[in-house]
Amino acid sequence: MTESGLPTSEHLEHLDTDTIADLIENLLPATEAHSAREHVKACPECQQTYDALVQLSEDLAEEGREDIPMPADVAEHLDAVLVSESVLRASTVGVHSLAQIREEPRRHLPKLLGAAAGVVLIAAIGVGVVFATKDQANEGAANTDQSTPPTDAVTITTGNLAQQTQKWLEHTPNAILHGSAAEQSCAKTFATSRANATVRLVQPAKIDGRRATIIGLQGGSAREIQIFAVTGCDQPGGVASSFYDTSVTLRNR
């Protein structure tokens, strides 16, 4: 304990790597994500794990830009590591082979990242590896360009709001300001009541079947963005009323 009575980092109960990986992938509920993010800020050990996972995710994404074949001996080595209980704790994670990752990448990738942080799996192999998945191909076919939001209202649900806004914001260094002048003005007025009034995103949308506006505000760090779904901004002189909020962590800042 410090003289102020606050716990020092060695007295904090550290987050497991699975939770930190889920935080990075924006898979945690909003309340749990906020608590986890605050813990990481206060805990140097967890911050180090967080940074390592972010870097690993970026490295994997960079490797995935080109179609690099996976050598047979590398695939066999990865399969051997993945079945090791000491690496992935298969009984709880449920990943037993590369085939599962290829078939269900979004389900298993956060767990794989968490395990890889402990054994530095990719660095030890020392070769470029691509996880080419049917999921990514199907997603690309269903959505022509998810990295750029349309200027008109986008149809979305609260279930995938965090993931989609993260994609938009990671693909541009500039603010994304769509909608009418009235909608943008409403969003900026809404921002003035928040801790950080820097507007990063204004996007007209139809969320869970109702007309709304997605507002993104700069969070406590360059990577953190506070996301709000509000009604009322689509009308001239309207006042924003938030009905859903979450936060996302950008991986390329």
- DSSP letters for 97-113: SHHHHHHSHHHHHHHHH
The answer to whether position 4 is within a domain reads no
pTM over 0.75: no
Looking at the structure, do residues 159 and 134 belong to the same domain, yes or no? no
Looking at the structure, do residues 102 and 154 belong to the same domain, yes or no? no
Looking at the structure, do residues 187 and 118 belong to the same domain, yes or no? no
Looking at the structure, do residues 150 and 80 belong to the same domain, yes or no? no
Looking at the structure, do residues 70 and 175 belong to the same domain, yes or no? no
pLDDT band at 151 (very low <50, low <70, confident <90, very high): confident
Contact status, residue 234 vs residue 204, Cβ threshold 8 Å: yes
Looking at the structure, do residues 61 and 24 belong to the same domain, yes or no? yes
Nearest one of 183, 210, 187, 207 to 199, comparing CA atoms: 187
Residues spanned by the domain of 82 = 9-140
The answer to whether position 132 is within a domain reads yes
More confident residue, 51 or 2: 51
Q: Mean pLDDT of all residues in the chain?
A: 75
Looking at the structure, do residues 245 and 167 belong to the same domain, yes or no? yes
Query: Which of 89, 112, 140 represents a domain boundary (last residue)?
Result: 140
